[in-house]
């Protein structure tokens, strides 16, 4: 499973990093994915971060 943050949509709210800091980091004002593909044991939290993004900037593929 691979995750992407759309840099044009991200408003830098930081929710993804709070929910799943192993996968999402905020080096500046936008979130970055720091672990791709996401290992199975981190996928539930990464999916929760995707669900929790207020602007829907996070997406994933199942490859």
Under the binding rule (CB under 6 A), the answer on residue 21 touching ligand F3S is no
Tell me which of 20, 33, 38, 58 binds ligand F3S, using CB under 6 A. 58
Q: Write phi, then psi, for 23 (nearest 5 degrees).
A: -110, -35
Question: What's the burial of 23, exposed, middle or buried (CB within 10 Å: 0-12/13-18/19+)?
Answer: buried
CA distance 10 to 44: 21
Q: Is 37 helix (H, G, I), strand (E, B) or coil?
A: coil
Residue 5 is a binding residue for ligand F3S (CB under 6 A): yes
| Interface size with ligand F3S, residues (CB under 6 A) | 13
Out of 20, 31, 33, 46, the residue judged to bind ligand F3S by CB under 6 A: 31
Contact positions toward ligand F3S, by CB under 6 A? 5, 10-16, 31, 53, 55, 57-58
């Amino acid at each position: 499973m691979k995750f992407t943050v759309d840099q044009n949509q991200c408003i830098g709210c930081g929710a993804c990093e709070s929910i799943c800091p192993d996968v999402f980091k905020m080096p500046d004002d936008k979130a970055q994915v720091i672990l791709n593909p996401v290992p199975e044991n981190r996928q539930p939290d990464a999916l929760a971060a995707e669900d929790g993004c207020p602007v829907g900037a996070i997406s994933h593929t199942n490859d």
